[in-house]
Amino acid sequence: MDFTLLVFSLLPVVAASHKVDLPREVVFKMGDRRELTCSMRSCPGELTFVWSSLEDKPLFVDVENKPTESVLIFENVTRNHENTVVCTATCGMETKQAKTAIKVYSFPRNPVISGNDALILGEENILTCEVSHVYPSEYLEVELLQGDTVLQTKEGELGGDGLLITHKFRPSSEDDGNGVTCRASLNMNHIESDGMTRETTGLLSVLSAPHNVRVSGFAAVSLGSGFTLTCEAAGSPELAFTWTALKPDGQRVEMGKHRELFVQNVSLTDAGVYRCEVSNRLGSQTADVSVVVKAPPMDTIIEARPQTVLNEGESISIYCKSNGVPVELKVLRLTVDGRETELKTSVGAETTFTLDSVKLSDSGLYVCEAFNEYGRQRATLKLTVENHLLEVALQPYGVTVAERGSSHALSCQASGCPQPTFSWRRFENLPTRGLTKTSGFLSQLFFDPVELEDEGTYICEVTCGSVAVSKHTKMKLFSFPSSPVLESSGPSLEGEKVRLICSVRDVFPADLFNIIWMDGEEELFSPERADFSSRLQNLTSGLSFALKAKHNDRLFSCKVLLEMDGVPAAHAIKTSSTALSLHYPPRGTRITVSPQVDLKEGESVSISCLSDSVPVGRVVLRRVVDAIETELKANEGAETSVILPSVELGDSGLYVCEAFNQYGSHQESVQVIVKAPPRNTTVEVLPSSEVQEGQNVTICCNSVSFPPPAVVLRKLDSGPVIHSPDGVFQLINLTPNDTGLYQVNVTNDLGYETEIFLINVKEKRFESTPSWNHFVTPAVCLGSALALLCIIVYLWRESKKGSYDITKCNPDTV
């Protein structure tokens, strides 16, 4: 929509051809107050103006109408005013138009350069040029120049508000103070002579830590004159100067705060190093210069450190110092005849000469001579070297006694000497076998083990510088390693001659050993002493006498004494003793049966045997049955015993205890009886239990028992009882009436056993025989006692097989 502003004029309209006056184009600066006048002159009549906009926005103006013109007032030009406005003038019937393009610009300020006034030398710095509030920005061109050299150019863009140029560069010190220009042009027509240029020039200020610092001026001055030192340096911002004198003793004295330093009336103390320190906020740098004061040596001194009086072997430093600069120093020694020996020469204000281990001959006068090209000066020192008060202690001192085979040491201690030298030797000029260990003030001579050949006199000599002191000690040896051995020879039977021998081995020195024989506390005799020998000796002594009963259990001793000074009592006497005891063959042998000698089968019994003999020999316990010996136990010693936990018949017999030693034997015996009731009774009818009438039979009864049993036979249904001492019965001339059951009853103290058997007698035609009991007689089966046979048979079984032998009960023999 067009904005039309109608303005009516009261003036009459002239119908003529007239012209509207309006500039075709105007350029306004933003912020200005501007007017745009549309006029039509020579309109006779009524004249009206209408303003309209070609663009779709309001005009933002005030209008002031005058009779012949209309003025648009732009109170404060802004970008809103950019427009194309049409002025329509109506004069009477005639209407005329004119249009004008309104352009707006803004370029209010000069470019602003920044970053130019604090550039850091050698580093990457950023220089900026800013142009702001520019409109229309697309017409803007900015260039950055250093002198005539264009550093950078940049053009604005549509829609922008300004431009910023950043320029990175590393300034050198030559850049400092140069100008840098930022030139901005707004290349727009119709503004102040075809475009507008604004420029700003700034100075480059390059900052740097102090550099190229050096000091110029005199370096060598004469005493009493003056000198000036100038410190030259580059750097920005402003440099500060400090002068410091570095004294030789390490002291630092501040001398001034200006670029130049002036020193008047130079004395020796003004010599030294002068340091100029240049600083700003970026850093600091120093430069030194040595100022030499040209003067002859002064204040020359010589000192001994730690002192001028010292002992031989100590070390000393001779210190020499002078104040002349430059100076050369000589340490000299004055000899007795006045000649000088040069010990050391050095350049510099001080020097030290060290004597590591002084000798007596180092005593004397020492000179320090300082000299330079302006003169010389001397100082002297008297050095006194004294002897050491060396003292030596030898332990043990005088005489020492050592046991062969032990370890022994001699210790030599030195005092009054810082570094003693030890030496050991033997008085006899023999080689020393000992091992020397020396450390500091102590030297030891070790013998481990000490041998006879080490006996002698040892000298410890200590040397300290020119002093030597020696001490000696005599080492005596003894050997008495073991107690004497006491032995007796031969059997010690009463009445015989006994010889006791005492021997002590490996003794030394043999002539100092004394052997004493003792009977209890009583000294008996002492043999002659042995002669001296340089070797180990075995000493022996014998004591013989006839042995009597009174000597039994008497203590005989052999006491060996070493009669040598210095031997500890515990080592000097050794004794061996023996108790003499009379020997005899075994006697008083006794055998004991416990609880008793009469035993029942199955009981337990202990049989012990004890004998007395010197020396104790051997005992044997055995059983004898029918001249057959069975050894039950035999052992060394005076007694023995056996335990039979459960006796049997076969354990019966004669028990014999016999004791032996080298002089003979002795025995004792006891009869042991084991009883048992009859058992395992057997009956045998011979030749058979089936017999013809008129025949004879023999009945043999065997039984195991002790004591021997009584055997009775009887016919069970009738008849008398027949006794037999031996268990054998003979039935003669049997009849059928004898047929029947018979019983034997075997009886002893402890019990009885019975056995029943049958005898069957067959009838014969030939009759009439007397009753059997007339003919039954006890018979002798073997012609010997069968009871005994029974026992023997039993024992025989014990020792041999395991069955009865009844062949002896042979009817042929009956």
Ligand X SMILES: *[C@@H]1O[C@H](CO)[C@@H](O)[C@H](O)[C@H]1NC(C)=O
Interface residues with ligand X (CB under 6 A) are 31, 76, 78, 265, 267, 505-506, 536-538, 679-680, 695-696, 704, 732-733, 735, 737, 745, 747, 752, 754, 768, 771
Beta bridge partners of 673: 598
We find the least distance from the C-beta atom of residue 479 to ligand X, in angstroms, to be 10
Length of the chain: 814
Nearer to ligand X, 317 or 733 (CB): 733
CA distances for 175 relative to 118, 125, 171, 282, 753, angstroms: 12, 12, 6, 18, 159
We find the least distance from the C-beta atom of residue 489 to ligand X, in angstroms, to be 16
Q: Which residues contact 117 (CB under 8 A, 6 or more apart)?
A: 202, 203, 205
The values of phi and psi at residue 212, to 5°, are 50, 45
Tell me the one-letter amino acid at 251.
Answer: Q
Token representation of residue 772: 């059997």
CA distances for 672 relative to 47, 244, 641, angstroms: 192, 135, 15
Nearer to ligand X, 132 or 696 (CB): 696
Nearer to ligand X, 197 or 771 (CB): 771
Nearer to ligand X, 233 or 704 (CB): 704
We find the least distance from the C-beta atom of residue 162 to ligand X, in angstroms, to be 17
We find the least distance from the C-beta atom of residue 416 to ligand X, in angstroms, to be 48
Nearer to ligand X, 290 or 737 (CB): 737
Maximum separation of any 2 CA atoms in the chain, in Å? 233
What is the C-alpha to C-alpha distance for residues 161 and 136, in angstroms, rounded to an integer? 8
We find the least distance from the C-beta atom of residue 451 to ligand X, in angstroms, to be 14
What is the C-alpha to C-alpha distance for residues 655 and 589, in angstroms, rounded to an integer? 13
Nearer to ligand X, 162 or 202 (CB): 162
We find the least distance from the C-beta atom of residue 628 to ligand X, in angstroms, to be 19
We find the least distance from the C-beta atom of residue 510 to ligand X, in angstroms, to be 10
Nearer to ligand X, 441 or 804 (CB): 804
Question: Tokens 């209010």 appear where?
Answer: 108
Q: Which stretches within 384-499 are classed as H helix?
A: none
Cα 40-43-44 angle, rounded to 5 deg? 160
End-to-end CA distance of the chain: 190
Nearer to ligand X, 137 or 400 (CB): 137
Cα 672-681-652 angle, rounded to 5 deg? 10
Beta bridge partners of 391: 415
We find the least distance from the C-beta atom of residue 432 to ligand X, in angstroms, to be 26
b vs e for 306-330, b when ≥16 Cβ sit within 10 Å of the residue's Cβ? Answer: eebebbbbbebebbbbbbbbbbbbb
Nearer to ligand X, 50 or 704 (CB): 704
Nearer to ligand X, 506 or 805 (CB): 506
Q: Are 502 and 515 in contact (CB under 8 A)?
A: yes
Q: What is the DSSP letter of 709?
A: P
We find the least distance from the C-beta atom of residue 506 to ligand X, in angstroms, to be 6
What is the C-alpha to C-alpha distance for residues 762 and 693, in angstroms, rounded to an integer? 5
We find the least distance from the C-beta atom of residue 266 to ligand X, in angstroms, to be 8
What is the C-alpha to C-alpha distance for residues 64 and 85, in angstroms, rounded to an integer? 15
Nearer to ligand X, 752 or 757 (CB): 752
We find the least distance from the C-beta atom of residue 253 to ligand X, in angstroms, to be 15
Nearer to ligand X, 82 or 141 (CB): 82
Q: Are strands 283-294 and 220-222 parallel, antiparallel or unpaired?
A: parallel
Token representation of residue 559: 């006491």
We find the least distance from the C-beta atom of residue 516 to ligand X, in angstroms, to be 21
* CB atoms near residue 129 (< 10 Å): 29
